[in-house]
Chain A
Amino acid sequence: MSNQATASVKVTHVEEQIVEIVSDSGEGAQKAGTAFAALNAKMGNGVWTVEIIPAEVKPPARSTAGASGIRVRFGQEHMTNMGDQADLVMAFNEQVLYGRINQEAYRPGTVILLENKWKDSNNDKIKAQYAKALVDFADRGFVVKEMPLEEACLAHTKNPKLGKNMFILGMLVWIYDRKLETALEEIDHLFGRKGETVVESNQKLCRAGYAYAMETLDFRFSIEAKARAKELVVMNGNEAVGLGIMASGMDLLSMYPITPATSVSHYLGDALGKVGGFLHQAEDEIAAVGFAIGSSYAGRTACTVTSGPGMALKTEFMGLAVMSEVPLVMVVVQRGGPSTGLPTKVEQGDLLAAIFGAPGDAPKLVIAPATIEECFTFIPRARQMAEEFRGLVVVLTDANLATGVQPFPRPEVKPEQFNIPFEQGEWEAGKPPYDWDEKTGMSPRPIPGQVGGEYVLTGLAHTNFSKVAYDPSTNQTSSEMRSRKFAAFRDNLPTPKVHGAEDGDLLIVGWGSTLGSIVEAVDRARSEGKKVSTLHLRDLNPLPRGLEDIFKRFKQVMTVEINYSDPVELGEDRRYAQLAWWLRANTLVDIDCWSNVFGQPIRPGLIYDEIVRRLSEGGLR
């Protein structure tokens, strides 16, 4: 199709691009962006997508707080994060752009294709707002192209408000010289369930947008794609968690709706049945985890998915799972806290709550995926850990992973992965239900239905026969047994690998969704000769062995996290970021931190700036 472009069109070759579609809520920007991202992935490009979601379902139209939409970063290489400032923005009104400007999403030179119907608005206030914004955008150095998008749509649909998104998709397909046929297939995939008429009308609008861009625009970009060796799947982190649950063999998800975790259940509401599983929407967070624990106790190991406030409510049951050694997988999709906090925004603020939450000594395994692929693979791993170590495994993801879309190699599926991973025959006569191995604290567990295994699980202090005991030694002994499982678990944890040189001036330590941004920033600094490396932790509790040795090879060690910490200037009053706190306590190394709670994924550019600052003269502490 590109040969049809007029000769006056300027084609620029680029390695990557960041595109945003921004609108009022409910205008379908996310759908268009998702289709565009999938299209790029299918063409072999690296993609990272992040949704821009307002807190309310229907915030006021044309408002800063109402900015809704999507960012798609795509390019020749594998994409690992949302990047810095956008290159091209498709905007349905000028006011929502301020929501993005406040988050430093744009730079001088960012091209904005802006709906211009507002300039002729009957409402003088809107007219004035629009005119004022145009002047301001010019001052900011944005390249604004006003376009009558809605009017152009009118020729092809009665209700342009509902079809504009596919029109925009068509325009993007032309601008980036993507395959129109693949885009149309994607529309079929998106709307297929709604019937042929809906698919056709959306495809028509996409074609119209493509033609309109060809007629009206004088610029295009070309991006090469690398040939793929393996078959890929593309999805967001919550869908990956959902598929991970399906692949883990856990056949019960017991949940209560909570942002930003709920979309896991939106996916599994339909899909879990395809592997014979069941989704239970409980009456509250506490009941959700209680139901899961009941099922796990009965031999059908279950999963619960929640976010910070939900984890807080589940705390008492978390302690019970640890105390009574019932396997349980709990996925926590972190959002901004404390309290109701920032429901739709990212934070890594639940690390210490996950590690320490629950009264008394309640050791639980805590792991954190760092990529969309790991959102999938860590769930079967968590199930295996929960069974083997007979207890609670918390999987910490966050709002950035939940809505980020990234392709990864298609996982292999085998019937054997659905086998029930424990003995179901008769329980050996006289064997206690907690047959703790003195060294490892590990023990098999009897399951209701097993003859001879009858025991009464209790959250009270208990002997190895699960008999309630208040004597001085029993609680000490059983606590020791539960703790020893942790040391045993560390035996199998490999020391993580440093990205970059094994020693140097600065080591950045991260966990969870910041991996892509940190690596990108570190690589950029290294390419300029800076002696900086990074270490990313997936196992947070217990930590792998060998960290001290790694830390001691660097002049400075600093965590980068999305949670609150005080600035260095506060001196001895300073409170540290959560991973820094945890690493300091565990390694006695003087680890520094750099973190914030803007509710945004940390951009690589900001991390790079901080690296430069730390390594500049006087930057070293």
Chain B
Amino acid sequence: MSESTTPVKAPHLFTLSDYQSGIARWCPGCGDHGVLAAIQRICTEEQLPPHKTVFVSGIGCSSRFPHYMKTYGFHGLHGRAMPVACGVKARRPELQVFVSSGDGDFFSIGAGHWIHGVRYNMDMTLTIFDNGIYGLTKAQTSPTSPLGLKTKTHPHGAILPPMNPIQATLGMTNLSFLAQTVDWKPQHLKATLQAAYKHKGLGIVRVMQRCTAYTADLHDEWRRNPEKVLLMKHDKGVPVDPKIDKAFKNQVEHDPTDINKARELGDRTDVLPIGLFYVNPDAPRYDQMTNAGLEMSNEDKAKGLNAALDKFAVR
């Protein structure tokens, strides 16, 4: 058969429906729906083959995420999404890995894997759905619940100041990408998640959202006063849609490679900074270390094992 007669197969194009699975069972109006829509659109735009894409999660409302994706998924244990996701990526570098976690899942029970996950910096996209409450288990205080928030475990109001996870993350070794966005601005949400996806390394996005059942007015301060949202802009930052540019007049030109400036912005509580706090594309990636030896042939493995046995041989 000559080359000219070989039928050229048109590349299969994945459409939105190739990523959609069932009807999401989150409450109507929950911010999770918006993140799901954004990620499904990103998958379509980036043409990610569903069979080579893995969504990993822990436990909580946001961790139901993989069930609504028609890709591979791993809905595991409370707080343990990161170790599983890192294990998936370790020896299968060609898989595209996404992690979905929440404020309780990630900043509380899984907090140990936060600091180490940042240090590993494996190439994957991490979305933290932060609604300041344990929603699935029906309204217990979370690490990011505001002071005074009445919950089932603190009926007289949360008694500790909320954790600032941005501040904490900006202090972690080997951080390579940290952004923040809000669930009520879909353009910014998608642009931020897409930037995290495109980043080679651990792209972390904290999505500020509300739980319609328990923290519906959590972000009223920012939502009602857009001038209290501080839009971080830069060529190296999250691309800014004209609508967003118009919506948020309070802006700052922030070079995301400047860690000191990032930390100043991360400390602020008078405004809500959104956009890219910090990026370091050169941070060492553990997935480029864990894949060592994948190409070794069986013959070489047999040689290697024999050489190892030689050291114990009784000659």
Cβ contact within 8 Å between A449 and B87: no
Cβ contact within 8 Å between A298 and B305: no
Nearest CB in chain B to that of A254: its residue: B87
Whether B3 sits at the interface, judged by CB under 8 Å, is no
Instruction: Select which of B70, B72, B77, B306 is within 8 A of A448 by beta carbon.
Output: B72
Residues of A within 8 A of B89 (CB): 294, 298
Complex Cα gap A413–B304 (Å): 10
Whether A452 sits at the interface, judged by CB under 8 Å, is yes
Cβ contact within 8 Å between A294 and B56: yes
Interface residues of B in 57-81 (CB under 8 A from A): 66-67, 69-77, 80
Whether A422 sits at the interface, judged by CB under 8 Å, is no
Complex Cα gap A416–B297 (Å): 10
> What sequence of 0s and 1s flags, for each residue 203-229 of chain B, a beta carbon within 8 Å of any chain A beta carbon?
000000000000000000000000000
Complex Cα gap A452–B50 (Å): 9
Complex Cα gap A413–B308 (Å): 11
B61 CB to closest chain A CB, in angstroms? 14
B248 CB to closest chain A CB, in angstroms? 36
Cβ contact within 8 Å between B80 and A317: yes
Cβ contact within 8 Å between B71 and A252: no
> What sequence of 0s and 1s flags, for each residue 89-116 of chain B, a beta carbon within 8 Å of any chain A beta carbon?
1111011000000000000000011011
B237 CB to closest chain A CB, in angstroms? 31
Nearest CB in chain A to that of B299: its residue: A415
Complex Cα gap A282–B83 (Å): 8
Cβ contact within 8 Å between A274 and B84: no
Cβ contact within 8 Å between A456 and B294: no
Whether B292 sits at the interface, judged by CB under 8 Å, is yes
Cβ contact within 8 Å between A280 and B90: yes
A450-B51 CB under 8 A given contacts A42-B315, A297-B74, A297-B84:
yes
B267 CB to closest chain A CB, in angstroms? 26
Cβ contact within 8 Å between A286 and B80: yes
Cβ contact within 8 Å between B72 and A454: yes
Whether A121 sits at the interface, judged by CB under 8 Å, is no
Whether B163 sits at the interface, judged by CB under 8 Å, is no
Instruction: Select which of A252, A413, A453 is within 8 A of B91 by beta carbon.
Output: A252
> What sequence of 0s and 1s flags, for each residue 277-296 of chain A, a beta carbon within 8 Å of any chain B beta carbon?
11010111011111111111
Whether A501 sits at the interface, judged by CB under 8 Å, is no
Cβ contact within 8 Å between A239 and B313: no
Nearest CB in chain B to that of A40: its residue: B314
Complex Cα gap A304–B37 (Å): 38
Cβ contact within 8 Å between B77 and A291: no
Residues of B within 8 A of A239 (CB): 312
Complex Cα gap A434–B21 (Å): 18
Whether A273 sits at the interface, judged by CB under 8 Å, is yes
Residues of A within 8 A of B77 (CB): 290, 316-317, 320, 459
A243-B308 CB under 8 A given contacts A291-B90, A297-B84, A449-B94:
yes
Interface pairs (5), CB distance under 8 Å:
A189-B311, A243-B309, A278-B289, A280-B290, A415-B301
Apart from A276-B294, A298-B89, A413-B306, what are 12 other A-B pairs with CB-CB below 8 Å?
A42-B315, A233-B309, A246-B305, A278-B291, A280-B90, A286-B80, A287-B83, A290-B83, A294-B74, A294-B87, A300-B90, A456-B74
A interface list, Cβ under 8 A from B: 38, 41-42, 189, 228, 231-235, 239, 243, 246-247, 251-252, 254, 271, 273-278, 280, 282-284, 286-300, 302, 316-317, 320, 407, 410-411, 413-419, 446, 448-460, 468
